[in-house]
Amino acid sequence: MPINRKDLADAGSPEALVKRILKAEPNLPVPVPIQELCARLGILRIEELDTDGFEGGLVTDAKRSEGTILAKRGGEPRRRFTIAHELGHFLMAHHVPDQPGRFLCKSSDLLRLTAKVGDERQLREVEANRFATLVLMPPHLLREAMAAFREPDLQHVLALARDFAVGKEAAARAYVQYHPERIAIVVAGNGRVQRCYRSLSFPTIVCGVGSPVPTRSRYHSSSHRPNTASDIAPCSPDLWIDVRRDLRAPGLSEQVYLQQNGFAMILLRLEPVPEESAEERRLEEGWRHRFHSGRR
């Protein structure tokens, strides 16, 4: 691995840093050897963190001459994400820790994707997560892997998680972002919506975070086997999205993957509207408009 800190000179954002890393390491293998990368970039040690309530940490100085990453013991994918997140704090010199020389990050920090305007602490966590996601799932390698997938399917999310050695949720976020179709993945836990990830063109999900998973969702079906993705089957679209009464409802399907810890991923897929019916709808709307405006 030829990379060193000089290759990253002047790169301040997660995107710029990962771009430089990929330039210096064009043949980066999958799964990305994150510990080796840390060692090349100034991290002397990776130690176990056993401070209650925290998932990861970083001990370093303001100049970032060197650092020690602390990561809680746990599954390898989660640990890899924590290490990559802390490497992000280390490489972004504008990240200022709460206590001098020591970053401590909670599991909620490692899930944070958006920050309140003006909240520097939240912003630095969002940036560290963006760095971790990009470095563990480099966009060109992710696109390459995604090219083999056609119809949306949670099996692909599991394959990405396995191949890139990342958590299922990190893989789900990337999958939704890179898949060309209108899809969303809802993470449910204890019967409630915990988090929702949707592609840019997927409509807003009406069940907010914290609300119960709709009773008519396939999530509640008793036929699921843990750690096996269900079939993909149509569901009533108004369970998840707002359907205007005067328009024909779009087709929506659900697929459920139940994990053993009470968590589940629910894939939602909005069927593409066939060309013919889109044309029909335009005609219908045209007639309605003329009727309402009195021009007949």
CB of 94 to Zn ion, least distance (A): 14
* Distance from the Cα of residue 44 to its chain's centroid: 29
Q: How far is the CB of 152 from Zn ion (least distance, A)?
A: 31
Question: Which part of the chain contacts Zn ion (CB under 5 A), choosing from 64-72, 106-114, 132-140, 254-262?
Answer: 106-114
Task: Give min distance, CB of 59 to Zn ion, in A.
Answer: 13
User: Can you tell me which of 37, 92, 128, 187 binds Zn ion, judged by CB under 5 A?
Assistant: 128
DSSP 9: T
The least CB distance from residue 178 to Zn ion, in Å, is 25
Kindly determine how many residues on this chain lie close enough to bind Zn ion according to the rule CB under 5 A. 4
The binder of Zn ion chosen from 69, 87, 105, 193 (CB under 5 A): 105
- What is the b/e burial string over 142-156, where b = at least 16 CB atoms within 10 angstroms of the residue's CB? beebbeebeebbbeb
Query: Max CA-CA distance within the chain?
Result: 78
Nearer to Zn ion, 25 or 109 (CB): 109
| 8 Å CB contact between 162 and 154 | no
Among 109, 153, 169, 254, contact with Zn ion (rule: CB under 5 A): 109
Around Cβ 267, how many Cβ atoms within 10 Å?
25
**Which residues on adjacent β-strands are paired with residue 169?**
none
By CB under 5 A, tell whether 186 contacts Zn ion: no
The nearer residue to Zn ion, 49 or 186, going by C-beta atoms, is: 49
Q: Which of residues 226-265 bind Zn ion (CB under 5 A)?
A: none
Helix or strand (DSSP H, E) at 282: helix 275-292
Does residue 188 belong to the site contacting Zn ion (CB under 5 A)?
Answer: no
**Alpha carbon distances (Å) from 233 to 131, 153, 200, 223, 266:** 36, 11, 23, 13, 12
Is 91 a binding residue for Zn ion by CB under 5 A? The answer is no
Residues forming contacts to Zn ion in the complex (CB under 5 A) are 105, 109, 125, 128
